[in-house]
Amino acid sequence: MRPVVSIATATITVLGLIAISTEAPAEIVTKTIEYEHDGTPLKGFLTYDDTVEGPRPGVLVVHEWWGLNEYAKRRTEMLAKLGYAAFALDMYGEGKITEHPKQAGEWAGQVRQNVESWRSRALAGLEVLKSQPVVDPERLAAIGYCFGGATVLQLAYAGTDLKGVASFHGALPIASDADAEQVRADMLICHGAEDGFITAETIRGFRSALDEADKPYSFVEFAGARHSFTNPSADSHGIDGLKYDERADEQSWAFLKVFLSQKFSRDGKTSD
């Protein structure tokens, strides 16, 4: 089994970061895009820097179980400032959101109960991203948070042609033997070491399935971090176990930047 990278300090040095940048000031463009899946109308959110010339890598962003809210949209803007085109998809329909845990759980549960439909709806969002003129369809990745983290892993299990997927404090669905064999994307798993929603048994099962299939992934644990550690509003829901962690948020984003730059390098090479 690959070793867990444990992050316990507040300082991180990132070497060899390949940034996509321009000398011109960023002109961030945002668009709401309506599309559908299986008869359900959906509303996604596209963001890119209009000063970047030509097609650029595309990153799919999958929201938490609250729905496509401002937090997910902010992540697309952060990606756009790095030179990527980012599309936050809609897994629930009509862009609906909630701040009520019971409602969020019901919506997420409805999606998860049918794995094929779950994957298909995520793929519908990926196709929207892929079809954008500003996107290089040969360089695509997906990132997700909580429910969204599990969703991008399902995309990987479906054998989707992605350079990489990254999960932040996501549920860790255990791949079947057949699903593990289909994985084509490298994986970055950013996990809170004190996440009480993900059991040690689940982590072992998740990693063992990928190890046995010899699939590449990086599993990074952040000491002291709990579930939803990247979301500044996590504490506001009054749920025991949800807590924002600024250090883990910043460090996991730094890991993502390196991960994406490696996956999208034009010569196709990646660093170990």
The tens digit of pLDDT for each residue in 35-63 reads 999 999 999 999 999 999 999 999 999 99
Mean confidence (pLDDT) of the chain: 91
Residue 254 pLDDT level (bands cut at 50, 70, 90): very high
Residue 23 pLDDT level (bands cut at 50, 70, 90): very low
Question: Half-sphere exposure of 57 toward its Cβ, with a 13 Å CA cutoff?
Answer: 27
The number of distinct structural domains making up the chain is: 1
pLDDT of residue 28: 96
3-state secondary structure of 247: helix
Length of the chain, in residues: 272
As a whole number, mean pLDDT of residues 167-187 equals 97
Q: Please state the φ and ψ torsions of residue 135, each to the nearest 5 degrees.
A: -105, 135
Instruction: Measure CA 197 to chain center.
Output: 18
Q: Are 230 and 143 in contact (CB under 8 A)?
A: no
Residue 111 lies in a domain: yes
Which CATH number characterizes residue 214's domain? 3.40.50.1820
pLDDT of residue 238: 87
Residue 103 lies in a domain: yes
Residue 218 lies in a domain: yes
Residue 231 burial (CB count, 10 A): 26
Would you give the DSSP letter of residue 172? Answer: -
Radius of gyration (C-alpha) of the chain in whole angstroms: 17
pLDDT of residue 3: 56
pLDDT of residue 177: 97
As a whole number, mean pLDDT of residues 227-251 equals 96
Domain that holds residue 45: 5-15+27-263
pLDDT of residue 4: 61
Residue 104 pLDDT level (bands cut at 50, 70, 90): very high
Of the candidates 270, 272, 264, 248, the one whose C-alpha atom is nearest the C-alpha of residue 12 is 248
Distance linking the first and last C-alpha atoms of the chain? 16
Residue 21 lies in a domain: no
pLDDT of residue 99: 94
The residues that bridge with 49 in the sheet, in sequence order, are 28
Residue 268 lies in a domain: no
3-state secondary structure of 5: strand
22-29 contacts: CB < 8 A, separation 24 or more? Answer: 22/49, 22/51, 22/52, 22/53, 22/83, 24/51, 25/51, 26/51, 26/80, 26/81, 27/51, 28/77, 28/80, 28/81, 29/80
How far apart are the C-alpha atoms of 177 and 228, rounded to whole Å? Answer: 29
How far apart are the C-alpha atoms of 88 and 79, rounded to whole Å? Answer: 11
In this model, does residue 9 exceed pLDDT 70? no
Tokens of 64: 């938490």
Question: Half-sphere exposure of 68 toward its Cβ, with a 13 Å CA cutoff?
Answer: 23
How far apart are the C-alpha atoms of 116 and 79, rounded to whole Å? Answer: 28
pLDDT of residue 25: 62
* Residue that wins the pLDDT comparison between 71 and 21: 71
pLDDT of residue 12: 31
Residue 94 lies in a domain: yes
As a whole number, mean pLDDT of residues 136-154 equals 98
Residue 186 lies in a domain: yes
In this model, does residue 13 exceed pLDDT 60? no
pTM of the model: 0.90
As a whole number, mean pLDDT of residues 158-177 equals 97
In this model, does residue 219 exceed pLDDT 90? yes
pLDDT of residue 267: 47
The residues that bridge with 48 in the sheet, in sequence order, are 29
How far apart are the C-alpha atoms of 170 and 145, rounded to whole Å? Answer: 6
Residue 22 lies in a domain: no
Dihedral sign of CA atoms 179, 262, 8, 81 in order? negative
As a whole number, mean pLDDT of residues 217-241 equals 96
